[in-house]
Amino acid sequence: MTYWQLIGGALLLSTALYFTSVRFRPGLRNIPGPFLASLSDADRIWSCATGLQMKYHLKLHERYGSLVRIGPKHISFSDSSLIPQIYGITSKFWKSDFYKMFDIKAPGGQVPTVFSVRDENRHRGIKRPIAGAYSMSTMKELEPMNDACSAILLRKLDGMVGQDVDLGKWVHWYAFDVITSITFSNRMGFMEQEKDVQNIIAAIEGRLVYNSIVGQAPYLHKYLFGNAFVTWLVSFIPALAALNSSRYIVAFAAQNLQRYQNKEFNTVHLQDMLDRFKSFAGSDTTAASLRAIFYYLCRNTEAHKTLLAEVDEADAKGELSDPVTFAESQNLRYFQAVIKEALSMSPTKQSYASSNSDNSQECTQPSASSSNVSFRPAAPKSRASTYPREQ
Ligand code: HEM
């Protein structure tokens, strides 16, 4: 046997041993799933890059059952009875490293936001001082800002009667105007200008695409946009630079915070800025929810008619003001059901990755230490038994 044959043989053997140990990882080896997915994260990276990961994973659940191994250390579950065990407040599962992708780069290094912080104790610490800003009573106080945006949307739509309208685009602009109004007291004027002002929506979407794909294997981030050299290099390639737009978004946030300071509002601290940054993601989820509601109503004429009849009836009884208030909308039971149904058919967040911490032995299933688990919120709705008439 030659020297090279020996080296080749040793390499082959160590590769085989490595993949065998990955495939037969204790605690996960008996959980069914696609063979290749159990060997590498490439399966999840690819399915995420196609934009169809949710459909793919729902199909896997149909084939393999409520627990599916979708990665070397990653399990997807579709059984909602496990939710309290994984996501309950006493759960030993914390947010996974996926959320690192949403940390903010600050002069002193990466800083987690209220959304991205993994350590539950630290989360409590970050949330305490800002919880009031996101409370229901604060949201209600901000209702007039929302009403002002709704009035613009209605005026614009009235002016387009008879034309083809991309409603998805309009509700996106609407959501962004609402969120920037309530966050920065500065409506950015997406609807008035009928465009993506300062390309902020494109910037956020670009970064979300990057975060979603690389977040499937977050350890890759330090070789990609987490690396200063790579970031500099891709800044010369516009298509790729568009995916690394966080600097742009932070610059926008900083610009608005400067406005606060100039007007001698209370000094804004870094943490406030980071939490306001999260609100951009709030605008995307709001836009996606509105799109889902309109989409399903357009697809389902029966639901559409029933909803209009409910609104007309309440209006005829004098139960609705103009614009309809949040409190009044709570009494429109069918309307509330429409919102909930649309959100469960098309959840804005398609999975919630959590990692079990080392002392997670109380969690009996799945039990492998330091593995990731994700719930598929759309799974219960996608099961044929949920809609027996459609079988
Ligand atoms: C219909 C609209 C919205 C939906 C469906 C939605 C959905 C969600 C979801 C699913 C999470 C948890 C994500 C995770 O932990 O992985 C979340 C967190 C959060 N959202 Fe939203 N969101 C919406 C609107 C907003 C808005 C308008 C804001 C701010 C103005 C906002 C601020 C936040 C914050 C601060 C968190 C982090 C909370 C924490 O970890 O304690 N969201 N949202």
Residues of the chain with pLDDT under 50: 264-274, 358-369, 389-391
pLDDT at 264: 42
Quickly count: other Cβ atoms within 10 Å of residue 367's Cβ.
Answer: 14
Instruction: Give this prediction's pTM.
Output: 0.84
Q: Residue of the nearest CA to atom 28 in ligand 1?
A: 282
Q: Tokens in use for 101?
A: 């992708």
Helices marked H in 40-118 — which ranges?
42-49, 53-64, 83-87
- Residue of 285, 344, 372 with the most ligand 1 atoms within 8 Å of its CB, for mutation: 285
Please give the Cα distance from 362 to 373 (Å, whole number): 15
Hey, where are the domains in the chain?
Answer: 21-101+350-390
- Residue of 99, 114, 115 with the most ligand 1 atoms within 8 Å of its CB, for mutation: 115
User: Which residues lie closer than 8 Å to 314 by C-beta, 6 or more apart?
Assistant: 320, 328, 331, 332
Helices marked H in 53-119 — which ranges?
53-64, 83-87
* Separation of CA 244 and ligand 1 centre (Å): 22
Residues paired with 93 in a beta bridge: 356
Q: Residue of the nearest CA to atom 27 in ligand 1?
A: 282
pLDDT at 261: 64
* Separation of CA 290 and ligand 1 centre (Å): 14
Q: Which residues line ligand 1 (CB under 6 A)?
A: 114-115, 127, 134, 179, 278-279, 282, 285-286, 289, 348-349, 352
Sheet of 74-77: strand order equals: 67-71, 74-77, 372-375, 352-356, 93-95
Q: Residue of the nearest CA to atom 42 in ligand 1?
A: 282
Q: Which among 384, 355, 375 is positioned nearest to 66, based on CA atoms?
A: 375
> Of ligand 1's atoms, which has the minimum distance to the CA of residue 343?
5
The per-residue pLDDT for range 235-284, each reduced to its tens digit, is: 888 777 777 666 666 666 677 667 666 654 444 444 444 455 555 667 88
